[in-house]
């Protein structure tokens, strides 16, 4: 870790008193509280705008429910003050902001679709947010030392596999829109694959830290790159097969891509070998070609993507209707948007979940979409920063893995909506209606908070960034 | 490991830049083309959200949008709907637009580029754009009288102010109720539209500007104009006075309407032939003149062209080339000659206006929602088909026709009326198309031209004729116009 040695020497000559002040725990928590209150304010304003635009008056009901989750958010904050005072101050406010805007937009579409009671996705989202915040407190309290997670490497791997298999269990798994990724628990449906991505990140980090030497040092040189031995190919093939199984049997293109991309990036960071990435991309292309050949739903996704405006494809069952309606919506919003509650996002199918970002882009415009994406970039960059500052390889890998999984998931879903890549069914982190995604992303937040707190407790100065 | 972290960070940044770039392309560069895609229902719904401007005739509101409590926010309402349907047209959710609603749509919605200020204002204040109001040249009193006078007949009445080209009345029967097409219940709208579409009396055809009928004897005005303008004929020029005539090279025999000669005497003048509306002398004159000057004269009056009033009219038609018997038939408005009621009214108007044909229009002015004038009416000359002298000569023939010729039922006490009837054949055994066209007063300003057409023989099959059915309608309307 020559870099850290360098940092230490640099810090000796740097403006130490100022840096000390910034890293002062009390002050960081105050910054966090202030930003959380700002996020509350903006979210409440968004809800007011939605109500004024759609009903012409303010109704208290939704605010009472939001007050509960606001209280829970403050509980997270207070909890951090006691157990992790040095945790990053920006992560929670950003997550609150995204979550709040998501609820406002989901609520707005509920009003248009006249969803009330338990049919109201906004009410469910609020309930799930409460659960997610509770889970965040739980994780922050339980995972005292994130480095200790390395001990549970294989346990995490096992949990991931079990979670992925759950939807395939007869009587438990349910199929929604052709994808078999859900389980039914009473009145609630849950997507265990969302939680599995955390378990997988822990497993990958632990496994790669143990095996990084054999994966990176040994091998034959070919065309300027060092390629691994045949016997070391096991892990990448295993993850590739796992992803393909998800794509084939659960008919969920997005999740398969998510896992494979996550593994590839963590493998690259662990080994520093570009050859792994090239092999991974080769496997990906082979898998994509095979899927396009044998899986009709994957073939449809490709057709919808490159020829979306073709009337035949537009009108076809499982055609590009949704994709094109999303584009119409974004175009309708234009630069400044129609204003909250004044667009027609509800015309687009699944406008509250997979297409929440198109709904927001329509009502908040390109300007609003930029703001949202900047928030996500900031969140991801905090994760990456924690990775840079981490003192041990496991924490480094885990941080970058968790940060990347948020970025990658955002790219896969918004890239699909904006037609950069074929559409995959994934949720926009923190914003889309869907409890499992919300719980999983808040758990990621909890782990990142613990990671950032743990590294600041190490008696040394933090990298200036 | 930090080198790899840095690279991964760069890759993540590139991913987000890609998303921002794609969103920019969609929301800015492609926004207009996405909005104009026919499948974009948002564009459609948007058009209903703006408060559409009203259509007015003087102080009378013909169509306006009133706020309602549903998704479309506003409901289009038409006052006196049957009377004004051919003018206002209709505004539906998904069956399209017609009439002024269609031709002035960009002003009514406020999307016209001349309403840029309103558009900016609506962006800044967040209120939907308010459309401009379209004010028509229609005189509601005349329109109502014309509607009443046409009674239960199937046909049309057009009244214009000859000096300006303003259309003062435009009646079409049978009509329809645009309120029933503007409703927000799609099924009811489609049912009503289908019923109108399948109605054999074709209520959706806007007869004054859209129905093409053989003009019959009203076309004799064009033939007479061509004869006089040729310089070779005067109103006193004569042809042999025959009761019937076998067209050269055919077995087709033409007759005057009562199968008698055209008044007494061996010879008949052009003046008498037009005044008494005799077919045989006009056929002889026409054949002597040749088809070319007749076709050219018809085109100067507007045949073979359409007018934007601002709705686009059907093109009245005359063949470009005709042989001798065809020319004979065309000389009194038969063969393949077809004309809209508006076209026939324009012929009368040009004669009344000393040979100057004014471009017809329904638009008096367009006013923005803040009362700022967007455009105002200015008279526009369309053509000068005949000289003032020719116009005066034809006027005298038409006057004679009303005072003691074939159009006597159009005469009004103390007013000199010029007129010409027409009883056009549509084929063997088919009911006639009955016409009256003319103007009043013949001296003094302003002058008003009127054309009445009654289709389907006015219910009398081949027994009705222009003077019996069309002329009295014209008289009633002219009386109303002149009263004010």
Of A314, A335, A381, the CB nearest to B39: A314
Give the separation between CA B48 and CA B75, rounded to whole angstroms: 8
Query: Residue B446: is the preceding peptide bond cis (ω within 30°)?
Result: yes
Residues 6+ apart with CB under 8 A from A286: none
ipTM for the complex shown: 0.90
- Angle, helices A91-113 vs A356-389, to 10°: value is 170
- Coil vs helix vs strand at B174: coil
Nearest residue to B269 via CA among B328, B221, B224, B333: B224
Enumerate long-range contacts of B82-86, CB under 8 Å, 24 or more apart.
B82/B147, B82/B175, B82/B176, B82/B177, B83/B143, B83/B144, B83/B147, B83/B171, B83/B175, B84/B57, B84/B138, B84/B143, B85/B172, B85/B175, B85/B176, B85/B177, B85/B178, B86/B170, B86/B171, B86/B172, B86/B175, B86/B206, B86/B207, B86/B208
Largest distance between two CA atoms of chain B: 121
Give the separation between CA B15 and CA B104, rounded to whole angstroms: 47
Token pair recorded at residue A88 = 């990053």
Of A366, A400, A410, the CB nearest to B23: A366
Instruction: Look at the pTM and tell me if it is higher than 0.90.
Output: no
Domain B210-362+381-483 has CATH 3.40.710.10: yes
Residue with tokens 């637009």: B97
Active site residue B217: yes
Per-residue model confidence as pLDDT tens for chain A (465 residues): 344 444 444 445 555 555 544 557 778 899 999 999 999 999 999 999 999 988 888 888 889 889 999 999 999 999 999 999 989 999 999 999 999 999 999 999 998 888 887 788 899 999 999 999 999 999 999 988 888 889 999 999 999 989 988 888 877 777 776 777 788 877 777 888 889 999 999 999 999 998 888 777 776 776 666 677 767 777 778 888 888 888 888 888 888 889 999 999 999 999 888 888 888 889 888 988 888 888 888 888 888 888 888 888 888 888 889 999 999 999 988 888 888 988 889 988 888 888 999 999 999 999 999 999 999 999 999 999 999 988 889 999 999 999 999 999 999 999 999 999 998 878 899 999 988 999 999 999 999 999 999 887 765 555 555
Cβ within 8 Å, pair B15-A366: no
Burial class (CB in 10 A: 0-12, 13-18, 19+), A465: exposed
Cβ within 8 Å, pair A331-B1: no
β-pairing verdict for B133-136 and B55-57? parallel
Which of B103 and A3 is assigned the larger pLDDT?
Answer: B103
Of A366, A384, A396, the CB nearest to B1: A396
Cβ within 8 Å, pair B5-A344: no
Enumerate the H helices of A117-187 as residue ranges: 121-142, 153-165
Token pair recorded at residue A44 = 């409440």
Burial class (CB in 10 A: 0-12, 13-18, 19+), B221: buried
- Catalytic pick among B65, B103, B217, B401: B217
β-pairing verdict for B167-173 and B155-161? antiparallel
Mean pLDDT for B348-366 is 89
Q: What are the strands of the beta sheet with B167-173, ordered from one edge?
A: B167-173, B155-161, B448-454, B433-440, B418-424
Q: Which of A328, A359, A373, A423 to mutate to test the interface with B (most CBs of B within 10 A)?
A: A328
Residue B260 has pLDDT above 60, yes or no: yes
Mean pLDDT for B194-212 is 86
Q: Structural domain boundaries of chain B?
A: 210-362+381-483
Give the separation between CA B362 and CA B166, rounded to whole angstroms: 6
List the beta bridge partners of residue B253.
B246
**Residue A302 CB: number of other CB atoms within 10 A?**
14
Judge contact between A341 and A108, C-beta under 8 A: yes
Q: Which of B10, B12, B17, B126 to mutate to test the interface with A (most CBs of A within 10 A)?
A: B12
**Residue B240 CB: number of other CB atoms within 10 A?**
13
**Residue A168 CB: number of other CB atoms within 10 A?**
14
Give the separation between CA B437 and CA A284, rounded to whole angstroms: 81
For A373, which residue in chain B has the nearest alpha carbon? B16
Nearest residue to A417 via CA among B27, B92, B14, B234: B27
Task: Please state, in angstroms and as integers, the Cα–Cα distance from residue A249 to each residue in A199, A252, A302, B153, B207, following that order.
Answer: 20, 8, 19, 73, 66
Residue with tokens 């003087």: B58
């Amino acid at each position: 870790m020559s870099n850290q040695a360098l940092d230490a020497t640099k810090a000796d000559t740097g403006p130490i008193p100022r840096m000390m002040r910034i890293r002062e725990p009390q002050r960081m928590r105050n910054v966090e509280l202030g930003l959380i209150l700002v996020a509350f304010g903006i979210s409440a304003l968004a809800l007011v705008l939605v109500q004024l635009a759609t009903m012409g008056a303010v109704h208290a009901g939704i605010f009472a429910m939001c007050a509960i989750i606001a209280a829970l958010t403050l509980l997270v904050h207070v909890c951090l003050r006691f157990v992790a005072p040095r945790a990053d101050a920006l992560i929670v406010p950003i997550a609150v902001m995204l979550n709040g805007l998501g609820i406002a937009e989901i609520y707005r579409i509920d009003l248009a679709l006249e969803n009330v009671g338990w049919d109201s996705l906004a009410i469910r989202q609020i309930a799930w947010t409460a659960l997610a915040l509770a889970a965040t407190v739980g994780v922050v309290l339980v995972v005292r030392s994130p480095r200790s997670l390395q001990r549970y490497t294989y346990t995490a791997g096992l949990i991931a596999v079990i979670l992925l298999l759950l939807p395939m269990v007869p009587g438990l798994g349910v199929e929604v829109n052709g994808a078999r990724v859900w389980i039914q628990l009473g009145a609630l449906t849950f997507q265990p694959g969302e939680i599995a991505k955390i378990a997988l990140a822990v497993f990958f980090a632990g496994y790669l830290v143990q095996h990084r030497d054999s994966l990176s040092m040994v091998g034959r040189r070919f065309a300027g790159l060092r390629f691994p031995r045949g016997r070391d190919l096991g892990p990448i093939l295993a993850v590739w097969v796992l992803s393909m199984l998800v794509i084939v049997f659960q008919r969920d293109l997005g999740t398969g891509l998510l896992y494979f991309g996550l593994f590839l990036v963590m493998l690259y960071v662990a080994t520093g070998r570009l050859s792994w990435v090239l092999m991974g991309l080769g496997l990906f292309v082979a898998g994509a070609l095979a899927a396009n050949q044998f899986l009709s739903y994957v073939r449809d996704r490709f057709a919808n993507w490159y020829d979306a405006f073709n009337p035949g494809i537009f009108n076809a069952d499982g055609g590009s209707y949704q994709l094109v309606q999303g584009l119409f919506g974004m175009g309708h919003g234009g630069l400044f948007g129609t204003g909250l509650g004044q667009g027609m996002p509800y015309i687009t199918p699944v406008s509250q979940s997979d297409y929440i970002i198109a709904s927001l882009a329509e009502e908040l415009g390109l300007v609003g979409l930029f703001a949202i994406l900047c928030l996500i970039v900031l969140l991801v960059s905090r994760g990456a920063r924690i990775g840079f500052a981490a003192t041990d390889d496991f924490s480094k890998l885990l941080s970058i893995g968790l940060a990347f999984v948020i970025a990658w998931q955002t790219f896969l879903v918004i890239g699909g909506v904006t037609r950069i890549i074929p559409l995959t069914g994934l949720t926009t982190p923190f914003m889309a209606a869907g409890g499992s995604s919300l719980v999983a992303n808040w758990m990621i937040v909890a782990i990142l908070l613990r990671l950032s707190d743990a590294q600041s407790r190490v008696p040394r100065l933090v990298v200036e960034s | 490991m930090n080198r790899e972290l840095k690279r991964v960070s760069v890759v993540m940044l590139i991913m987000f830049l890609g998303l921002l770039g794609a969103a920019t392309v969609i929301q800015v560069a492609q926004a207009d083309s996405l909005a104009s895609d026919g499948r974009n229902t948002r564009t459609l719904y948007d058009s209903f959200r703006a408060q559409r401007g009203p259509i007015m005739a003087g102080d009378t509101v013909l169509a306006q949008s009133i706020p309602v409590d549903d998704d479309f926010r506003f409901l289009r309402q038409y006052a006196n709907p049957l009377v004004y349907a051919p003018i206002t047209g209709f505004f539906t959710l998904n069956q399209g637009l017609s009439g002024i609603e269609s031709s002035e749509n960009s002003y009514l919605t406020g999307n016209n580029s001349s309403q840029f200020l309103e558009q900016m204002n609506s962006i800044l204040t967040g209120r939907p754009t308010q459309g401009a109001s379209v004010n028509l040249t229609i005189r509601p009193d005349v329109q109502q009288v014309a509607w009443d006078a046409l009674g239960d007949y199937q046909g049309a009445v057009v009244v214009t102010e000859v000096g300006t080209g303003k259309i003062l009345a435009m009646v079409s029967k049978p009509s329809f109720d645009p309120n029933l097409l503007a409703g927000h219940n799609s099924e009811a709208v489609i049912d009503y539209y289908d019923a109108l579409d399948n109605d054999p009396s074709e209520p959706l055809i806007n007869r004054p500007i859209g129905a093409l009928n053989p003009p019959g004897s009203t076309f004799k005005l064009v033939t007479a104009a061509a004869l006089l303008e040729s310089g070779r004929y005067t109103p006193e020029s004569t042809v042999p006075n025959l009761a019937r005539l076998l067209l050269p090279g055919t077995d087709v025999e033409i007759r005057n309407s009562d199968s008698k000669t055209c008044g007494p005497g061996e010879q008949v003048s052009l003046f008498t032939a037009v005044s008494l509306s005799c077919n045989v002398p006009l056929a002889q004159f026409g054949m002597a003149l040749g088809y070319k000057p007749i076709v050219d004269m018809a085109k100067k009056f507007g045949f073979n062209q359409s007018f934007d009033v601002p709705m686009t009219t059907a093109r009245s038609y005359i063949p470009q080339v005709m042989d001798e018997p065809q020319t004979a038939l065309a000389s009194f408005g038969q063969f393949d000659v077809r004309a809209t009621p508006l076209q026939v009214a324009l012929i009368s108007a040009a004669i009344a206006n000393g040979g100057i044909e004014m471009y017809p229009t329904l638009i008096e002015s367009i006013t923005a929602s803040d009362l700022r004038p967007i455009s105002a009416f200015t008279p526009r000359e369309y053509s000068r088909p005949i000289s003032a002298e020719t116009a005066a000569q034809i006027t005298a023939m038409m006057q004679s026709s009303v005072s003691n010729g074939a159009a006597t039922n159009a005469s009004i006490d103390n007013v000199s009326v010029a007129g010409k009837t027409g009883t056009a054949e549509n084929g063997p055994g088919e009911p006639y198309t009955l016409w009256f066209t003319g103007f009043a007063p013949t001296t003094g300003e302003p002058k008003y031209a009127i054309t009445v057409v009654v289709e389907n023989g006015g219910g009398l099959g081949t027994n009705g004729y222009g003077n019996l059915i069309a002329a009295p309608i014209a008289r009633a309307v002219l009386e109303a116009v002149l009263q004010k």
